[in-house]
Structure 1
Amino acid sequence: MARVLAIKSSLLGSDGSSSQLVDEFLSLWRNTHPEDKITEKNLAEDPVPHLDLNTFSAFMVAGDKRDAEQNKATALSDELTQQFLETDIVVLGVPMYNLGIPSVLKAYFDHIARAGLTFKYTEAGPVGLAGGKKVYLLSARGGIYQDSAWDFQSTYIKGILNFMGVTDITSVYADGLAISPDHKKAAMDQALQEVRDLV
């Protein structure tokens, strides 16, 4: 049994194009892998708070040396990080906002990119500790950004995942959704078919 974590980050919730790609993926995955445990997380409906000084400072204290307030400050991050570490397959639904990722998704990554847990520093540079996962990156963008220098969205996501040791990443892009209704339909049809082929 594999553990699957599906994360949506569209402000439009389930109506978002990236969310529709995730829903299609999960529907097919449930049919073909009924024994797997799937956890869904919608960051638009249940956002992860941005890091504050109390939480970040508590990260710097070893777990067995934190006081009650520090344990409270890191509780959510500890939970999210443990969930990520225990997950075998991650499905990310990611729209592009202003050339980047939604701030709620950035906040999520800030909570799970933890020194000593998902990565460590060495004299030879940082080493990821969260490897061994498969990630499906399902992206939706208004313009055509694939293989473009403007694609900071997927560049960042792949970068932070690689930083944590996750290198097995497969991407599906629905590009040009804001160009015209016809282009949106064609792009979504193609992306949905790519999702079906993957599953």
Structure 2
Amino acid sequence: MSKLLHISASPRGDKSKSRALALAHIEKRVAADPTLKIDTLDLWDEPLPQFDGDWAAAKMTLFGEGEMTDDQRANWSHLTEITNRFIEADHYVFNVPMWNSGIPYRLKQYIDIITQPGMLYGFAPATGYSGLLMGKTATVIVSSAVWEPGIDPRFGQDFHARYLEWWLHKIGVKEARFIRFQPSMVTADPEAQFSAAMAQL
């Protein structure tokens, strides 16, 4: 049985266009494979720990910097549980609005929690990063209120989809399809653009 993890990075609930596209895509996948297991992670409802100094210190022990304290070991066990939920999925569906040309801070927090050496990636001084999540795929639905590819830089920059693509490749998810609903404010017909994004799914 395959498992799909839906990660929603929009706080807008039913008003979110990116979430609507993600749910439509998931519905189609379930119709094609009724045995597909769906796990939904709403980053605005999920209690995410703060990756503070103790957590960072625990991470550095993996690079040979001291040993974990009991508290750090407990924190790392919690981190491992959160990360394993991500690792266990076969396909990822992200819906991610653009915030200030980047991703929402809750998604960045989640990425910083789970992106750990020996879990999602390996590292060697001679060769750099190597992803550990082989054979997994992703559908990434990105939306923005103003920015679109090719628009004048006065309307923003893409530190959004480009970052997510880089991160997914870093952890080994090489097959990631990006669906854009961009923009919704400076286009003459946003509904047609929404329909076009739906058709791509």
Task: Provide TM-score, normalisation by structure 1.
Answer: 0.88
SS in 1 for 2:107: helix
Tell me whether 1:141 sits opposite 2:144 in the alignment.
Answer: yes
Query: What residue ranges of structure 1 are gaps of 5+ in the alignment?
Result: none
Deviations 1:24-68 (A, max 9, x none): 112222221110111000002225244111112122345xx7443
Give the match for residue 173 of structure 1. Answer: 180
Deviations 1:118-177 (A, max 9, x none): 111112211111221111001111124236672110110011111111110101000111
Any runs of at least 4 consecutive aligned residues in structure 1 with deviations exceeding 4 A, and if so which?
Answer: none
Distance of aligned partners of 1:73 and 1:14 in 2 relative to their CA distance in 1, 3 Å threshold: farther
- Alpha-carbon distance in 1 for matches of 2:47, 2:150: 30
Give the match for residue 44 of structure 2. Answer: 44
Task: Provide TM-score, normalisation by structure 2.
Answer: 0.87
Give the match for residue 195 of structure 2. Answer: 189
- Alpha-carbon distance in 2 for matches of 1:76, 1:183: 46
Tell me whether 1:120 sits opposite 2:127 in the alignment.
Answer: no
What letter corresponds to residue 135 of structure 1 in structure 2? Answer: A
Give the match for residue 68 of structure 1. Answer: 70
Contact 1:176 1:183 in 2 (8 A): no
Give the match for residue 93 of structure 2. Answer: 91
- Alpha-carbon distance in 1 for matches of 2:42, 2:77: 19
- Alpha-carbon distance in 2 for matches of 1:88, 1:168: 12
What letter corresponds to residue 103 of structure 2 in structure 1? Answer: I
Query: What residue ranges of structure 2 are gaps of 5+ in the alignment?
Result: none
Bigger helix fraction: 1
Tell me whether 1:161 sits opposite 2:168 in the alignment.
Answer: yes
The worse-fitting range, judged by mean Cα deviation, of 80-89 and 42-51 is 42-51
- Alpha-carbon distance in 2 for matches of 1:71, 1:183: 53
